[in-house]
Amino acid sequence: MPNWGGGAKCGACDKTVYHAEEIQCNGRSFHKTCFHCMACRKALDSTTVAAHESEIYCKVCYGRRYGPKGIGFGQGAGCLSTDTGEHLGLQFQESPKTARSATTSNPSKFTAKFGESEKCPRCGKSVYAAEKVMGGGKPWHKTCFRCAICGKSLESTNVTDKDGELYCKVCYAKNFGPTGIGFGGLTQQPEKKE
C-alpha cells in the first residue's frame, strides 16, 4: 500500500510518525512520546535505550530480562541485587548452595581489606568522606567541628588546636595565650596615686 505523504508507522502505537517527532531505533521509528521502556515505562534516549528484536527497554530492565541471572549478577560494581524480576514475569531460581551472609563473619579480615573508618574525636562515631573536616591532624564531623568552649562553628581561618581539642582563636587567646600587662589581661593591680 502506498504511503501518500505520511511518515513511517510508530513501533509502539502503530500510528503515523512525522519527521519532526521521529526517533529512530533499531531500524524502526517512534514518536518522542512513545519512546519509553516496555517494562517500566521510563522515558528513553539514545544513551539509555537497549533494543531486543522489536522491543525497547531501559538498560536496567533489559539486563533483568535478558542479562545473566543468579547470585552475584548485580546492576553495577559492588552492587548486591535482590531484585527477582517478578514484576517482569521472570522466575528466580534459588541456587542449591547457601548464599553468603551480607555481614562478614571475621571482622579482622574486613578491616584489613577495607580499613577501619576514622572516628571523630568529639563524638567517637565514624567519620565518612562526605562529612569529613580535618582539624588538628584528625577527622571531624562538620557538626562536631566547633570550639570546645563557646561552641562556635569553626573554619580553617579561625581554628586552633591544643591537646587534641579545637578552639576558636578568641577562646584560645583568652585561655591559653600570653597574659600580663600589654596582652589584654592584668596580673598586678595598678598603684593608686594619692
- Which CATH number covers residue 38? 2.10.110.10
Whether residue 119 is contained in a domain is answered as no
Whether residue 60 is contained in a domain is answered as yes
164 burial level (CB within 10 Å; 0-12, 13-18, 19+): exposed
Q: How far apart are the first and last CA of the chain?
A: 123
Whether residue 137 is contained in a domain is answered as yes
**Residue spans of alpha helices (H) in the chain:** 59-66, 107-114, 169-176
Quick one: pLDDT at residue 150? 92
Residue 157's domain comprises 132-176
Whether residue 3 is contained in a domain is answered as no
What string of pLDDT tens digits covers the 194 residues of the chain?
Answer: 555 666 788 888 888 888 888 888 888 888 888 888 888 888 888 888 888 887 888 888 888 887 776 655 555 544 555 555 565 555 544 444 444 444 444 454 544 445 567 889 889 898 888 888 888 888 888 889 899 999 888 887 888 888 888 899 889 888 887 776 665 555 555 565 65
Whether residue 194 is contained in a domain is answered as no
Quick one: pLDDT at residue 50? 86
User: Which of 44, 66, 88 lies at the terminal end of a domain, its last residue?
Assistant: 66
Whether residue 124 is contained in a domain is answered as no
Please, are residues 7 and 18 in contact by the beta-carbon 8 Å criterion? yes
Return the SS3 of 31: strand
Whether residue 35 is contained in a domain is answered as yes
**HSE (side-chain half, CA atoms, 13 Å) at 117:** 13
Whether residue 142 is contained in a domain is answered as yes
Quick one: pLDDT at residue 103? 46
Number of domains the chain contains: 2
- Block residue for cell numbers 578568641: 170
Quick one: pLDDT at residue 21? 84
